[in-house]
Structure 1
């Protein structure tokens, strides 16, 4: 996995670019049986099938030779796109990569890489994976794969995937340049199944409050979550912060399984309903393992689908305090069905509703483009800066058992609103993040200073003793200027805190993985700090809604 593809907490401009390809899996149908054109096989009442007739007529009479399969694929794509923003067609050659994040694994050699100076650099090896087992190290440069030179040829991320991924059990031979050695090292790696973790990190935020960051709701999410929660309990966690920011969703069952851990007794978690799908309800079983501790859920405009199911259920039962900004607003349920050629269709078959009866789906009648741009419109209208800029129709108002007012019709509105931070937003900070200057500098810095950084044996030592100012920060400014980004003193001063934090966090990630990154970056995170503050309050029996008013 390319390290630059990980989901980070980003400054203002990154929060505005939210993809609409958000999926929630309820069930997987079997394959369609019959002809390739089964989708169009039913006749109209007048006895003919217009779509099939048009395609056949084009195939027979069009002036040039056509690719009929491509026409069919394009037709299906257009039909589904015109239904709603989340119904979709997935070609056979893309289905595996689309499903991998939710299935929780892929087949490869198990490295996190970064293309630095047109060379594949190993950032880290997956614990227990093929590359770690055979002896690959962070900082190694892969210069040859199966006898083919891969350095200095303008290689792209997709090329690296093609070279290094492959069927489990297959072999790949690589040559590696290692710092301090003149000769290339030869490795033959047997590919294996590599886990894609959905729990980015977990740690104790305070002596009695744990923190868990969930990046997606995949097949293995519940198991990972329970492992993390149990480990935090061993460290005396009595309260819990769950971070769902930037989490686009995933499997419904994963969300309901997590909700079950926090709700007492038999309580409705969510229900789904559609024209051809009778109402189906999901309940807690009263056997949850964290039914009493204080609970806080962080959300933002990138939290969607299964993230909204979990946060909506906990909010509707007054079980958790939701902190952040309004979530994406994706309340449509897709069902995936396979075609005989290996392609698939994800069709919206139902809507989901929270326990109070809220539909979280935001409007999409204005078309896909307007739907995709809706998050940007929130910023333009001031919603990300002021909770009062969000307006809901009274018909979308609902009340929780505890008397709290909640709303449907467009995402989960948090109990505690946290505006987006614009204090460090200027041309310089936007440029160094948008063009990857911060991450590139950190890769270079770690690569040049591995011996120096080796004195930090633990993350605690690094967090306490490593300083970015003045030396590292001044080196970064020089690096930015060398990359043709010229700041003025005012912009440097206003963005210094953010950039210094991100420099340290990115260096920590390269040394200690995601735990290092999040432990550092959360130090400057307002929503996280509010959650920690509330978790430490002694008047725990005070109602959520009463505490909210002091925070808006």
Structure 2
């Protein structure tokens, strides 16, 4: 990373210098002589985007104003109010407050509607979720004034708080499932503190008697490669290779090996992946598969195997330039094919769905290429992502147009909050274990959900409702539990109705499958 002034590349100095001077000259003429006033900065951003678009899908320019927001995704904490909210009919309603955070301390409650933050109106202002999040975030210690509507109060309430430092965990709390010996840990991204968070969760489960582990990498878009390789080292014994990179410049060629005695090198391990597992998540999954250390369950991963180098620019922006490719230990290239047309690249996941790959293992298509063999002789392929050992079809109900629209309109969260407000006293009298065992979402609640959806302009669809009813009941039960008992309660309920997780639990407990696929040959 650096901020050095422009210097032509030593291998092609004339061409690089000519291009630089030509662009500088043309932009100068446009800015000075063009018939209308122009936004020179905007033109430059457009030109840079077009330039990078000719390279690959992952080389990008990040303007200075966006760097903090982009970087925050991979940090272990951030400054803010500690509010989780749902948008429904252009109204932001508090779902939960972070325990110990400024909003909780100031008295904000689930069900409160955010009317204004500072001088900025929220209700009816047609703001996006990201815009409201930016209003709530700010430097630690800075003051934030909120005006909220509370269902039990006739007048809006003014709430004042000072923003604080809030955890931004990348690893969800671990849990022991079914027989209380199989553990489950989900990693949402590879951020600054991911390795330490994982170690803490694993140690806690081990103290409770952990014998088998399911590691969930579904939806994990990647992040810091070194956090993923440190995690791989926890599972891979000896000094075996984890990943290597190869680029045009020798400085970007690297090989990473296991080198520490990990905490889970011999015990049964299954890894969940899907089409949204990408980059560093694919590096981890590929290394575990190549060394026959784990069985992979789910669907073919995204296929992002390009390495980006962050380069700080003088004006405060950042260039993330692809400088190398990732390869798994046996030599598989993770990256799926791409060309100059980014739109086609971005449609690739939709095309997987259209030709049936997400519903049938027989429809999986990868680019033709050589076969590779794992440590124990199993055949694996490169050419676009990591193909799991055990295929599980995507739940068509959860991705149906009806269910997806209910989610996108905020209807499910909105109805769950309404239900929670009406039944807060009864729910307070139930322990979560009782709620989990006995609470059922009835047809009456589903009818209420349909009425709530109608308020958002969604017409009733009895056929789609019947098809989605089991998933809707489970989702509503989880959302109500989140308001009443916290986010981990919601996750526990959703895990019960997760077909991919249930398949992973079956596989990790199947000693015959473990021996057949992972045993010495």
Residue equivalent to 1:247: 220
1:302 matched to 2:276? The reply is yes
- Structure 1 residue runs of 5 or longer lacking an equivalent are 1-28, 547-552
1:479 matched to 2:435? The reply is no
**TM-aligned CA deviation for residue 145 of structure 1:** 3.4
Residue equivalent to 2:97: 125
Q: Are the aligned partners of 2:337 and 2:367 in contact in 1 as well (CA < 8 Å)?
A: no
Residue equivalent to 1:58: 30
> TM-score scaled to structure 2, two decimals?
0.91
Residues 148, 431 of structure 1: CA spacing in aligned structure 2 closer, same or farther, 3 A cutoff?
Answer: closer
Partner of 1:44, secondary structure, is helix
**Correspondence list, 1:326-337, <5 A:** 326-337=300-311
- 1:472-514 Cα distance to aligned partner (Å, 9 max, x none): 2333234345555445554333222122122212222333333
Q: Are the aligned partners of 1:428 and 1:486 in contact in 2 as well (CA < 8 Å)?
A: no
Distance between the aligned counterparts of 1:341 and 1:504, measured in 2?
A: 50
**Correspondence list, 1:309-388, <5 A:** 309-365=283-339, 367-388=341-362
Residue equivalent to 1:82: 54
Match of 2:4 among 30, 33, 55: 33
Match of 1:492 among 451, 465, 469: 465
**Correspondence list, 1:135-534, <5 A:** 135-146=107-118, 150-182=122-154, 184-206=156-178, 207-278=180-251, 279-365=253-339, 367-392=341-366, 395-422=369-396, 428-458=402-432, 460-481=433-454, 483-487=456-460, 489-534=462-507
- 1:371-413 Cα distance to aligned partner (Å, 9 max, x none): 1111111112121122122244663310011111111010000
Q: Are the aligned partners of 1:119 and 1:155 in contact in 2 as well (CA < 8 Å)?
A: no
Distance between the aligned counterparts of 1:80 and 1:423, measured in 2?
A: 38
- 1:205-251 Cα distance to aligned partner (Å, 9 max, x none): 23101111111111111111111111111221111111111111111
Partner of 2:14, secondary structure, is coil
Paired residues, number: 514
- 1:394-443 Cα distance to aligned partner (Å, 9 max, x none): 63310011111111010000000111233677664454345443233223
Distance between the aligned counterparts of 1:115 and 1:432, measured in 2?
A: 12
Q: Are the aligned partners of 1:141 and 1:177 in contact in 2 as well (CA < 8 Å)?
A: yes
> TM-score scaled to structure 1, two decimals?
0.86
**TM-aligned CA deviation for residue 258 of structure 1:** 0.8
Partner of 2:484, secondary structure, is helix
- 1:71-128 Cα distance to aligned partner (Å, 9 max, x none): 2222222211210000000111111111111123322111112244544432212222
Residue equivalent to 1:13: none
Residues 357, 115 of structure 1: CA spacing in aligned structure 2 closer, same or farther, 3 A cutoff?
Answer: same
Match of 1:44 among 1, 7, 14: 14
Q: Are the aligned partners of 2:56 and 2:340 in contact in 1 as well (CA < 8 Å)?
A: no
Q: Are the aligned partners of 2:97 and 2:103 in contact in 1 as well (CA < 8 Å)?
A: yes
Q: Are the aligned partners of 1:147 and 1:174 in contact in 2 as well (CA < 8 Å)?
A: no
Partner of 1:503, secondary structure, is helix
Partner of 2:322, secondary structure, is strand
Distance between the aligned counterparts of 1:45 and 1:180, measured in 2?
A: 70
Residues 46, 469 of structure 1: CA spacing in aligned structure 2 closer, same or farther, 3 A cutoff?
Answer: closer
Distance between the aligned counterparts of 2:168 and 2:263, measured in 1?
A: 25
- 1:34-66 Cα distance to aligned partner (Å, 9 max, x none): 4xx779999625974322222223233322333
Residues 153, 505 of structure 1: CA spacing in aligned structure 2 closer, same or farther, 3 A cutoff?
Answer: same
Residues 472, 288 of structure 1: CA spacing in aligned structure 2 closer, same or farther, 3 A cutoff?
Answer: same
- Structure 2 residue runs of 5 or longer lacking an equivalent are none
**TM-aligned CA deviation for residue 306 of structure 1:** 0.7
RMSD value, Cα: 2.7
Residues 274, 425 of structure 1: CA spacing in aligned structure 2 closer, same or farther, 3 A cutoff?
Answer: closer
